[in-house]
Amino acid sequence: MDMVTSATSLSRSGLSDWIIQRFSALILAAYSLCILASFLTTPEMGYAEWRALFDSNLMRIFSIFTLFALCGHAWVGMWTVGTDYLTERQLGGGATAIRLVYQAICVLLIAVYLLWGISIFWGS
């Protein structure tokens, strides 16, 4: 059987990508519930309370961990969307160039958000 290969998927393996997508989804869900719970348990959520929540190292680590999960999740998803719709079958001859530009923009955005996010969570 001719292996279907791909140089741009996150892990090159369908199984690894699938596990990363599922596992990161769990982390994102847990983090969302955590934030929701802090809203529900803090009746007067203002800047000071919000700030105090993210002052703990535990919350910072959880946030950055979630940020990594979000970035992995986003790349698996965006890569899948791009390889579904931005193909020669859909767009004709120029599809590969369009797909590469799309993938480059996605990677760039994800990298910027990741670094920006880390600096927010770990900064002052």
Partner 1 sequence: MLVSIYRYNPETDSKPSMQEFEVALPEGKDLMVLDVLALVKEQDSSVAYRRSCREGVCGSDGMNINGTNGLACITPLSAVGGSANKLVLRPLPGLPVIRDLVVDMSIFYQQFEKVKPYLINNTPAPAIERLQSPEDRAKLDGLYECILCACCSTNCPSFWWNPDKFIGPAGLLQAYRFLADSRDTATADRLADLDDPFSVFRCRGIMNCVAVCPKGLNPTRAIGHIRSMLISQGT
Chain residues in the site for partner 1 (CB under 8 A): 1-6, 9, 12-19, 80, 83-85, 87, 89-90
Task: Compute the Cα dihedral for 113, 114, 116, 122 and give only its sign.
Answer: positive
Place of tokens 């105090």: 52
- Shortest distance, position 80 Cβ to partner 1, whole Å: 8
Q: Is 28 helix (H, G, I), strand (E, B) or coil?
A: helix
H helix intervals, 42-56: 47-53
Q: How far is the CB of 39 from partner 1 (least distance, A)?
A: 32
With respect to partner 1, which residue has the nearer C-beta, 11 or 42? 11
Contact at 8 Å (CB) between 90 and 19?
no
Q: How far apart are CA 27 and CA 118, in angstroms?
A: 17
**Cβ closest to partner 1, residue 91 vs residue 118:** 91
Q: Rank residues 70 and 86 by Cβ distance to partner 1 and give the closer one.
A: 86
Closer Cβ to partner 1, 49 or 84, answer by number: 84
Question: In whole angstroms, how close is the CB of 72 to partner 1 at the nearest point?
Answer: 14
Supply the minimum distance, in Å, between the C-beta of residue 81 and partner 1: 10
In a 13 Å sphere around the CA of 113, the CA atoms on its Cβ side amount to 15
